[in-house]
């Protein structure tokens, strides 16, 4: 339909969420490829070079020297960058990291899973597919449970859940928007809060959004992939709790903006429950550094592989 549209305006809060390559598609919709080329392959060839790769496959690309400036010059006549804080009066936002210390039994389980899984993958052959599987399992264990090969839930520990309940107690009845990473997180949270007397709801329908904004919900459980866009939740509370983070910078930023947006009247506080020494910390560092998902994931895993290999070497 694009060739039939005479005038188009595109709006985005995340123009290049996982790297400069992402800009091509959005600009193509504006000018049909006039500035950055008709194909993403041609765009990549002109402005990028292979970064991480093995013998047969390129996993990601890095911009060539000067590519950033060249691209900005090409699209400068049709693109404008505007920061919300320059035009809107937004409340302050504070980030609060809550370290979760695993008990000895849980730590042994984590160390064993980390060692066995990381050493299965040779550093020189690790790819994005195996990296995602590895970190998924470790992130699950950080949260307290893992899926087995039959997709059954195996509970490992309650350390993060206990820290979560302590955090809720410290909010003194203030409502909280809670983002979970895995389905079993949601079920375990609901079970842990079943006798709390709190009004708990999953964010699933328009009515849930309305009830939250009317302060009829104490704990609103949401997955960032389904709640990160287009929802106005700023009237229902000012506390966001990340029970478990994922690697997507775009989802993380957009999810936080459900509360930190125009119309919010209180300081917004973003709480992170992070297992000390676990892969949780790698994800948090990646989001803070705002590097591309895959780059940081691979970097973090390779560092962990090296450490585990050294610890397992008797010499």
Give the tens place of pLDDT for each residue, 58-67: 877 888 999 9
Show which of 81, 101, 116 is a domain's final residue.
81
Q: What average pLDDT does the structure give for the chain?
A: 85
Do 279 and 159 fall within a single domain? Answer: yes
Note the pLDDT tens digit of each residue in 205-226: 999 999 999 999 999 999 999 8
Note the pLDDT tens digit of each residue in 255-265: 999 999 888 98
Note the pLDDT tens digit of each residue in 139-195: 999 999 988 878 888 899 999 999 999 999 999 989 999 999 999 999 999 999 999
Q: What is the pTM of this model?
A: 0.72
Answer whether 61's CB lies under 8 Å from 49's CB: yes
Do 50 and 137 fall within a single domain? Answer: no
Question: Which 8-state DSSP code applies to residue 149?
Answer: T
Note the pLDDT tens digit of each residue in 226-235: 886 778 999 9
Answer whether 74's CB lies under 8 Å from 23's CB: no
Do 156 and 233 fall within a single domain? Answer: yes
Q: Which helix (H) or strand (E) holds 163?
A: helix 159-170
Q: What is the mean pLDDT of the segment spanning 285-290?
A: 79
Q: Is residue 88 part of a domain?
A: no
Do 102 and 142 fall within a single domain? Answer: yes
Q: Is residue 223 part of a domain?
A: yes
Do 194 and 71 fall within a single domain? Answer: no
SS3 117: helix
- Write phi, then psi, for 296 (nearest 5 degrees): -70, -40
Is the predicted pLDDT of residue 302 greater than 80, yes or no?
no
* CA distance readout (Å), 98 to 160, 244, 285: 10, 12, 14
Name the domain count of the chain: 2
Show which of 49, 81, 113 is a domain's final residue.
81
Residue 178 belongs to domain with CATH number:
3.40.50.300
Answer whether 74's CB lies under 8 Å from 243's CB: no
Do 72 and 105 fall within a single domain? Answer: no
Do 16 and 76 fall within a single domain? Answer: yes
Q: Is residue 87 part of a domain?
A: no
- Structural domain of residue 169, as residue ranges? 93-311
């Amino acid at each position: 339909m694009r060739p039939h549209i005479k005038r188009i305006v595109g709006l985005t809060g995340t123009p290049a969420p996982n790297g400069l390559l992402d800009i091509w598609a959005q600009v193509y919709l504006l000018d049909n490829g006039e500035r950055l080329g008709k194909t993403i392959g041609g765009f990549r060839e002109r402005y990028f070079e292979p970064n991480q790769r093995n013998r047969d496959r390129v996993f990601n690309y890095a911009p060539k020297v000067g590519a950033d400036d060249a691209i900005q010059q090409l699209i400068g006549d049709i693109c404008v960058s505007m920061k919300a804080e320059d035009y809107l009066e937004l409340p302050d936002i504070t980030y609060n990291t809550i370290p979760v210390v695993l008990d000895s039994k849980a730590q042994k389980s984590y160390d064993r899973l980390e060692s066995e899984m990381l050493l299965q993958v040779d550093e020189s052959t690790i790819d994005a597919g195996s990296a995602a599987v590895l970190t998924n399992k470790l992130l699950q264990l950080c949260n307290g449970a893992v899926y087995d090969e039959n997709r059954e839930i195996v509970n490992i520990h309650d350390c993060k859940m206990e820290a979560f309940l302590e955090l809720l107690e410290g909010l003194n009845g203030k409502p909280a928007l809670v983002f979970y990473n895995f389905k079993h997180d949601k079920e375990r949270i609901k079970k842990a809060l079943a006798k709390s007397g709190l009004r708990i709801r999953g964010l699933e329908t328009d009515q849930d959004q309305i009830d939250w904004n009317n302060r009829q919900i104490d704990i609103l459980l949401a997955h960032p992939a389904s709640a990160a866009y287009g929802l106005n939740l700023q009237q229902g509370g000012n506390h966001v709790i990340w029970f478990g983070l994922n690697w997507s910078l775009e989802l993380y930023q957009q999810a936080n903006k459900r509360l930190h947006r125009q119309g919010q009247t209180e300081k917004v506080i973003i709480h992170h429950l992070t297992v000390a020494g676990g892969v949780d910390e790698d994800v948090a560092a990646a989001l803070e550094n705002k590097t591309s998902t895959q780059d940081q994931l691979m970097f973090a895993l390779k560092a962990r592989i090296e450490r585990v290999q050294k610890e397992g070497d008797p010499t």
